[in-house]
Amino acid sequence: MNAQATLVLPSKGTTGLLIDGHWIDPKDGGTLEVQNPSNRSTVAVIGRSTAADVDRAVSSAQEAFRTWRQRPARERGAFLTRLGDAIAENAEDIARLLAAETGNAIRTQSRGEVASTVEVLRYYGGTASEQKGETLPLGQGLFSYSTRDPLGVVAAIIPWNSPLVLGAVKIGMALATGNTLILKPAEDAPLAVIRVCELAAEILPPGVLNVVTGRGSDAGAALSKHPDVAKVSFTGSSEVGRGVLHAVADRIGHATLELGGKSPAVVFPDSNNEETAKNVVAAMRFARQGQSCTAGSRLFVHADIWDDFMPKVIAAVEDLVIGDALDEATDMGAVINTTRYEEISDFVQQAADQGAQFLTGGPSTKLEGDTPLRLTPTVIAGVDNNWRIAREEVFGPVLVAIPWQTEEEVVTWANDTHYGLAAYVFTQDLNTALRMAENIDAGWVQINRAGGQLPGMSYGGRKQSGIGAEYSIEGALESYTQRKSVTIAL
């Protein structure tokens, strides 16, 4: 049986537009095809929203905000918990849909992402009531206190690489704090998000969560510019993020940006073992085809262990099974679309032309016909930190490995980037670990760990990797509410 034939597609949400609790067609009747990158077939055709549809979604969210903000926080949290439970009940169907549209392997990636989505919504459901203000001791005869007020209508623009969990983070933060939300899924991978929003439409009051599908240049740009959108939360490339921030700044709105990364992974001599090598491969997000902003794509290995450690990394990389994302045997699936395939290939070819050494993998073959969008994981040596492939975000399964001699040297190299999202350090010495965590300029540092974000972690970037933090209740309060100070003369 064709694995794709067993997919449970959205039943109502392929219209692409959820407004005031109803799934409706875009005004101009436009559509988008969603493809399976593992076999280049069409999974579904969905509606394509434009600025006129965005206007309708904003009006719906504005109306719902009047009553949603007045609900006790514990009630808003209960809605989120119910949504998390509903996703858990449909987890396998959603995971298969996610694997088909993203190319992320069902066993190693998509099931885990659905589980994380449930965790995130349950976390914000449970912490929604922890929105405390403060009292200020201004002196006798004065009572002064502060509250946390929601911003209003929030627009959330999410990418295709981890669409479900990133959508859940924005849903959880916005709704828990009393805002209403317009969610724009990525045009390449909207289906699992739409399926979750179908469940949400059965649980949440109408208008609290609205959905507009479409291209970033249409629906995304319209949301960013809309005068009645109080805040935009964007996750995606730094290039697009600059445009979003410019549009929001022009109308003095609020913005959270989680952008790109070129994250360092630093291995000290005392971590020359197979477990660290596997962690390096995991930190690089090879199992997600390297399509992660937190990918540890610059590997710095101490020169004393280089000759012994790098073969361990190569063995771990070459153990990965590349195949169809819906095949249970697959470790690593396909990149999202032909544009990404070609851009990644160009990076690797340029490095080859410059004389790079390929420890495994290498330049890819030219796409022909309906060839699956699978790339061989590649590890490159013989470069330094100034090469383009070591400085720019490839967003593909390409790891650059560089030997180092002194801690001062490797910290300088780790920080020599305009990004500052994530970093990974592998050492058995606690003093070294704490010193590196302090000195590396990144918003999210992992020591002897290569896993992803967990609910409660404060996750956000520095420099051109973004503005603001997500994944924690503190991040939600900082980014999705504003303080109101009240002083009473007694």
**Contact criterion met (CB below 8 Å) for 279 and 271:** no
Catalytic residues: 258
Give the CA diameter of the chain.
Answer: 79
Beta strands in 345-396 (DSSP E): 357-360, 378-381
Residue 246's CB is within 10 A of a number of other CB atoms, namely 12
Residue indicated by tokens 């959880």:
172
> What is the number of H-type helices and E-type strands within the chain?
15, 20
CA dihedral 452, 102, 57, 251 (to 10 degrees): 60
DSSP string, 206-260: TTSEEEE-S-IIIIIHHHHH-TT--EEEEES-HHHHHHHHHHHHHTT-EEEEE--
Report the Cα 483 to chain-centroid distance in Å. 27
- Edge to edge, the sheet with strand 298-302 lists 357-360, 378-381, 398-404, 298-302, 264-267, 422-426, 444-447
As a whole number of Å, the CA-based R_g of the chain is 23
**Contact criterion met (CB below 8 Å) for 204 and 20:** no
Q: Does an H or E element contain 364, and which?
A: none
**Contact criterion met (CB below 8 Å) for 390 and 410:** no
What Cα–Cα distance (Å) separates residue 358 from each residue in 212, 278, 379, 432?
43, 19, 6, 31
17-19 and 209-212 beta bridge pairing: antiparallel
Q: Record the tokens describing residue 451, joined without a space.
A: 């896993």
